[in-house]
Amino acid sequence: MTICTIRKDTGIARKISKFAGIMALSVFLTACGGGGGGNDNAQTPSVTPPASPPVVDAGTIQFATSSLLVNEADGTINISVTRTGGTLGDVSVDYTISNGSASDSDYTVASVSGTLNWAGSQSQANTLSISLVDDLLIESTETINISLSNAINNAALGANSSVQINIVDNDTITTTTDVLYFYVSEINEVKSIYAYDPKNLTLSAGSNLASPSDSILIDDNTEGENLMVSFTIVDVIGGLVSDIHYPAMMYIKGGKIWKVLAQSATSVESPIQVSSESNVLLCDDATFANENARNFDESLYFYLDAGADSECGSPDDQWKYVKFGWDTTVAAVLTMDFLTALTFDENNVMTEYLAWDDASSGLFKCATTCALISTFDFRPSLFGSIDASDKEYLLDGNSIVIYDIAANTISAPVYTSPNMFFIPFEIDDASFSYFSDGGKIFRLDAIGNAPVEILDEGAGKQVMLSFFSATNERLIYSVADTVNNTSEIRSILKTGGASTQLANSAEPGLFIMGRGGENIYYSYSQASLPVAGVVQADGSNKTESPDVVWTGFTTPSAANIAAGVELFNIFRLDNTSKTISVYDAVSFTFRKTVGVLPGDIRSITFLGVDDNARGYGLEQSAFSSDVFYFDVSGTQPLIRITGTPGVNDGGVLY
């Protein structure tokens, strides 16, 4: 007797349809001699059983891999979802795309969720496409997650039911030590933009004049040039800002908006059109940039266009803006006279802002459209650089009012100056904002309260703050005595109290030039001669040099807002010998001699970051200027980038 055994299929998730099962069982029983009476003792002929038919099922659905490594510059990537092991019947599976460490601004997809379908007998893989955004941000590797669920019609999910996409950043931190610098050359009111590489200059033997070929022409007949400055912010709460960059310039030429990157000679020779406009007519040279420090692609370039009638000053003049990250397919956004950004999304993209409309004398809150908040007699200005989370301080004439963003209302004045012409200078330290009015100094908080008076020098005194007035604990300020025509520099704790005199002059015009550590640099005139002085914040170690001027400075590439603006190097010009020297601003120690002021230059001003100083020199004979460069840590002398008499070079130093 032949013994036949039916074994249970132990394959993973294998199913047999009812019809296929009956057919297989019929073949099986026939092979085993079933289906007839027969004699058990009779000889059974030798029969070879037929091969078992292939088992057909719906298949296993999964990603081709559980992890995928891509580059931010790869553009559109395709992720395969496979069906293997069977193609029986129509099947489908749901997918969901979600952020890991990446954000919505890092990629775009047609849909973050949906269903993938396979027809019966179809085994080809389905594909999900993700378009990566190649931004300019310095980022760590970021991740996107995709998961599969709800496989139907007997399809099974495989082990790779999810995949993590790892996006490797292709941007590097480009500091001011390895980018090109810009300047504008103007002849007879016609402007051209140039760039030069400070690390690759050609000097003739015995000369400090760079070769004309070192200046790379970016574009000529330009207008409305704006340098786009970006920062890498490490800690906003603590006030730390590091890695200052100067990577781009935007300008108008031929009715179009252009941008140029300062990364290499190749990039500056290839300007990129930013918007689809081709008929921009700039009015009153009215352009400005609003940099987004955390997302440089979202930086805005504003300009005043003459409108359809091509006439400036007519009712259809229109403010517009473009974004740095845009390409030629995007049209400029119609807006009003931009005041300040109000709110941002999680990717630090501006979502709302304040704007002014001259025609209606109205202040508007704008998003995709603009809505009137209130009318004013004159255009209000932003005041209080330390903003409350839901409030903005505005200067309305000689009064400070508060705009409540959530309520969309303007408060009654929280401070009104007794001075008709109230144009206060303001500084901040990441916690408070400070401004002066007459002989007083006030402090604004970040909550929206009225300002608090912390100093009163008395009647007849005029207090002046500067960019360099804030230290960790104190405010440094100048005082002009309008009755006795004298001046002095004093300091006071940010919380108030008695002030300390740091320097004084029997003449008006004692100015704070900068601060490095505890050293306060200042200048004034005495007996018609300039005097350059330095004193520590507590009034000690004061040194003054007659017929000497501070002639510029560099700032550190890493700065702490809470500690105020600080100098890295400070430059000193001896008017007698015409010798220029440079000092470490924090320790006030001599570093090196820069050189002698050229005979055809009457004055020179240095600006820059760390040891990279760009000079702007005014010529003796005409109202024209030249561009200079000096590397404090290098071995080369003061280099003259331009030297054509009568040409105004250096409108933009960076």
At residue 168, what is the residue type?
V
Give all strands (DSSP E) within 64-119, no chain letters.
67-71, 76-84, 91-99, 107-108, 113-118
Predicted confidence (pLDDT) at residue 272 exceeds the cutoff of 90: no
DSSP-derived secondary structure letter, 211? P
- Check residue 590 and give its pLDDT: 97
- Check residue 286 and give its pLDDT: 86
Q: 60-168, what's its fold?
A: Immunoglobulin-like (2.60.40)
- Check residue 35 and give its pLDDT: 37
- Check residue 26 and give its pLDDT: 31
For 217-242, write each residue's pLDDT tens digit: 989 989 888 877 666 655 544 555 55
- Give yes or no for a contact between 272 and 253, defined as CB atoms under 8 angstroms apart: no
Between 119-128, 289-298, 536-545, the lowest mean confidence (pLDDT) is in: 289-298
Predicted confidence (pLDDT) at residue 244 exceeds the cutoff of 80: no
Per the rule left: phi > 0, alpha: psi between -120 and 50, beta: everything else, 547 is: left
Predicted confidence (pLDDT) at residue 491 exceeds the cutoff of 80: yes
Measured distance CA(477)–CA(468) in Å, rounded = 9
What is the side-by-side order of every strand in the sheet holding 370-375? 337-344, 350-357, 362-366, 370-375
User: Percentage of the chain with pLDDT > 70?
Assistant: 83
- Residue 411's alpha-carbon distances to 139, 281, 384, 404, 436, in angstroms, are 41, 38, 15, 8, 22
For 563-588, write each residue's pLDDT tens digit: 677 899 999 999 999 999 999 999 99
DSSP-derived secondary structure letter, 294? S
> What are the structural domain ranges in the chain?
1-55, 60-168
Report the pLDDT averaged over residues 618-636.
89
Report the pLDDT averaged over residues 264-271.
76
Work out the pLDDT band at 441, boundaries 50, 70, 90. very high
- Give yes or no for a contact between 109 and 97, defined as CB atoms under 8 angstroms apart: yes
- Beta carbons within 8 Å of 475's beta carbon, 6+ residues apart: 434, 441, 455, 465, 469, 491, 492, 493, 494
Measured distance CA(333)–CA(323) in Å, rounded = 9
Work out the pLDDT band at 594, boundaries 50, 70, 90. very high
Predicted confidence (pLDDT) at residue 14 exceeds the cutoff of 60: no
Report the pLDDT averaged over residues 348-366.
88
Report the pLDDT averaged over residues 253-263.
86
Measured distance CA(564)–CA(66) in Å, rounded = 49
Report the pLDDT averaged over residues 180-194.
88
